[in-house]
Structure 1
Amino acid sequence: MSAVKLDTLGAVNDLGKPWRYEEDGLTVTRTAVWSPPGCHPVGCGLKLYTKDNKLVRVEGDENHPVTQGRLCVRCITLKDYVYNPSRIIYPMKRDRKYRGQADKWERCTWDEALDIIEKNYREITAKYGRESIIIFAGTGREGGTLYPYGSMMLGGPNYCYTQSGYACYTPRLAATAYMMGVTYPE
């Protein structure tokens, strides 16, 4: 292995370790990733190896205080996920008359997607009032503290925040309670 060269910033994390450096012609970035629904507040400590801004390799960061170099399956397969040809990385739209037809989606611009969202938001709130819109998150974690701001920005009183681990059943109950006045009928 060649000598490790710090990047020009020389930035270090709170453990005194460089967060980015060069090694064997690759840029190594030390980071931690988190993914719902299973990661808890720390996530896996990673070393991402890149060349020309392309991910080459993923390894566990042995200096991460919690995971100590161990990775979950999501992190181990990160490169496959990032470069999967079926991965959707742009906004997509589909005419309502084609609901349920997977081959009818088409790419649209970010501006077009945001215009569609704005148009639908304005139509719904004009017809049903701002109370008809809800800011909804399927699982909580640290981001949950931001949901009330979404409601304030949209001018409505509703937001639904569920606790960690309630990524499918509890959101379903909350959504049906808001929409039908009762929880999910089973």
Structure 2
Amino acid sequence: MSSIATFRMTHVSPLKAARILAVLWALSGLVVGFFAQIPDWMRDAMGWMFVIYPLGYALFGFLLTLWTAWCYNGIARRLGGIEWTARVPGPVGAVQPIRTALLDISKLQAAKLMAALYLIFSVPAALLASIPYWAEDSTLAWSTVLLLPLGYTVFGFLFTLVEAWVYNGLAARIGGIEFEVVPVASADGAGIAQA
């Protein structure tokens, strides 16, 4: 027998999250550094962007994630954390916080969700970005309105797919992001926990 329950994330392990996200940021920095390096290669110059960017991104990602997790933990203590609903095996009762780790992300589901979010958020951004072009060149304005959401949606899907794949590989080797959850309620109204 399974039940539907609502959970609240009350704590994120800052160090675990920072380690994993530093690697993901470093991979992003490698891609950006590669493209930033192209002009140097075209001039037959040796540049270090493909080294500097990943290191800088990794350090930035590590520190930003530490700070974000620390802030989240403080806010979650005062206001409550993020809530979500999930199917769980067996009945849900009022229990103590459960410490768990995110070990696997459904790559396709995460990519579809992020693509949809990128599409929703990029349409207003594209409309705003096209405003300066309407007076001068309506072709450029329409291109912005149509291509910006399309690009965000496609690249959002592809990058999330790759990031989820990388995350799953990292989580299998060094462990996933650890956090605490508390059951808040179940679908039948039983199992309401005091947060």
Q: TM exceeds 0.5?
A: no
User: Relative CO higher for 1 or 2, CA cutoff 8 Å, sep ≥ 6?
Assistant: 2
Q: Which has the higher helix share?
A: 2
Q: Which has the higher strand share?
A: 1
